[in-house]
Structure 1
Amino acid sequence: MDTDVQSFAVAHLRRRPEALELGGFVAGFDPTSTSPYLNYATPLPGARPSGRDVAALVEAFRDRGLRPRLEFAPDAAPKVEPALRRAGFVTEAVHEYLVCTPSTLTPPPAAGFRVETPADDEEYRAIDAALAEAFAGDVVASPEGAARLRRVQDAGGAVRFVRSPDGGCAGAAMCSAPAGSTAELAGVGTRPGHRGRGVAAAVTAELAGAMFARGTRSVWLEYSGEGSRRVYERVGFRPRGTRLYLVLGKS
């Protein structure tokens, strides 16, 4: 599964507004944002980068005023981590990822609300605002954020949300367009006032089901804590591997 997840990461970055390939790495950049979560690199499966390759990657980030950063499944490219460590990269995080397949997907019981697909710009803006509130400052609502959500849907991925009683968004998530046999589900967030009602489980299961209906063999995600992990496991996600986040150490 590590190779599938890593192959997805490569394909996902190649879709970025600006993508570079150099020395066994793919770097994806979004000129509308300096967020490290939108500007990072990943290695090709099996990559064996030289010191010169790593230096060229670092320079590509510095040219854009960004801190060099990578996300990858280390077991899919075991020669990469040592090369990056020698160049001064340090661990930002290690995340376990979970995988769901059609045979493990377990939709939750009906919870008295519908999971919907956004239909217009107003709904994309409402979703973007709700996710900004859900993540408590890690992301900021913006026209660019709403536009990115629409691009996910228009590019073959999926965005789903639960409407709040005031007509806005109670919670939402997205799934990037599949690459190869898998797709990444991300951005699962529920506004604080709507938590505990099953919103996260509902949108997660709906997105996974939508991908499976298109022929995708698996959907994977990372979780942020044991509470969210339990939500994902209840709808059929199972532990399958880890992803490593590295950043260049401060000089």
Structure 2
Amino acid sequence: MGIDVQNFAVANLRRRPEAAEIGGFVLGVDPGTTSPYINYATPLPAARPGARDVAALIGAFRERRLKPRLEFAPDAAPAVQQALEEAGFTVEAMHEYLVCVPETLTMPPAAFPVETPSTDEDYAAIDAALSEAFGGEFAASPEGAARLRRTEESGGAVRFVRAAGGGCAGAAMCSAPAVETSELAGVGTRPDFRGRGIAAAVTATLAETTLARGARSVWLEYGGDGSRRVYERVGFRPAGTRLYMSLEA
């Protein structure tokens, strides 16, 4: 599965508003933000970069005033980690990823409707709810709401559960499929609404939607044992790891 996930990473970065291929790497940039979690690079599968390739990649980040950062499946490009470490990159994290296929997808009982956003107010509410869900790790903004709308309108999917008093209780998104797979990300529930099955409902609905559109699989990363159990209940299974590396200024 690692090669599928890495091929997806390459294809997904090439869809960024600005993308560049540099010495066996693809750098994807959204000029609307300087976030290193949106602007990063990934190697081509089986890439074997040399010191000049890595230096050129660092230069491309520096020219754009961005932090050099990469995300990739190490088993699909095993020579890359050492090349990056020799240039001073360090490991931020290594995360296991889970994969769901049609045969494993399990829809939970319908406790509440999962909706598709349709208005600017919906997208703004989702962006605000995810900001709160992730402890303010990123600030809600018009640009964030616009990125969510672009995801939905460009072949991906955004789904949410509406709060009883209005706004959004929890949400997540799936990128548009590439190489027959899609990444499900940003699963978040506001603290006051946790423990009600919202994350499971949104995750399962997104997987069902994406698989019905022709994807062969959907994959995601999880942030702890609690969230892993949620994802496993709706049909996600362990399949590999992803490595995050960056270079400090």
TM-score relative to the length of structure 2: 0.99
1:142 alignment partner in structure 2:
141
Distance, in Å, in 1 between the alignment partners of 2:138 and 2:114 is: 23
Contact 2:67 2:248 in 1 (8 A): no
Size of the alignment, in residue pairs?
Answer: 249
Distance, in Å, in 2 between the alignment partners of 1:137 and 1:36 is: 16
2:17 alignment partner in structure 1:
17
Give the match's secondary structure for 1:177: coil
AA in 2 matched with 1:172: A
1:104 alignment partner in structure 2:
104
1:197-223: CA deviation from partner (whole Å, max 9, x where unpaired): 100000000000001111111000000
AA in 1 matched with 2:169: A
Distance, in Å, in 1 between the alignment partners of 2:136 and 2:166 is: 23
Distance, in Å, in 1 between the alignment partners of 2:192 and 2:105 is: 27
Distance, in Å, in 1 between the alignment partners of 2:206 and 2:70 is: 26
1:158 alignment partner in structure 2:
157
1:165-201: CA deviation from partner (whole Å, max 9, x where unpaired): 1121000000000001100000000000000110000
2:66 alignment partner in structure 1:
66
1:179 alignment partner in structure 2:
178
Superposed counterparts of 1:35-50, under 5 Å: 35-50=35-50
Tell me by how many angstroms 1:128 deviates: 0.5
1:200 alignment partner in structure 2:
199
Give the match's secondary structure for 2:57: helix
Structure 2 alignment gaps of length 5 or more: none
Distance, in Å, in 2 between the alignment partners of 1:233 and 1:201 is: 9
Give the match's secondary structure for 2:209: helix
Contact 2:133 2:188 in 1 (8 A): yes
AA in 2 matched with 1:33: T
1:237 alignment partner in structure 2:
236
AA in 1 matched with 2:41: A
Tell me by how many angstroms 1:65 deviates: 1.6
1:118 alignment partner in structure 2:
117
Contact 2:180 2:216 in 1 (8 A): yes
Paired-residue identity, % = 73
2:83 alignment partner in structure 1:
83
Larger deviation, residues 57-66 vs 93-102: 57-66
Distance, in Å, in 2 between the alignment partners of 1:195 and 1:139 is: 20
Give the match's secondary structure for 1:97: strand
1:95 alignment partner in structure 2:
95
AA in 2 matched with 1:75: D
Tell me by how many angstroms 1:22 deviates: 0.9
Structure 1 alignment gaps of length 5 or more: none
Tell me by how many angstroms 1:249 deviates: 4.1
Tell me by how many angstroms 1:34 deviates: 1.2
Distance, in Å, in 1 between the alignment partners of 2:75 and 2:110 is: 39
Tell me by how many angstroms 1:81 deviates: 1.0
Tell me by how many angstroms 1:35 deviates: 0.9
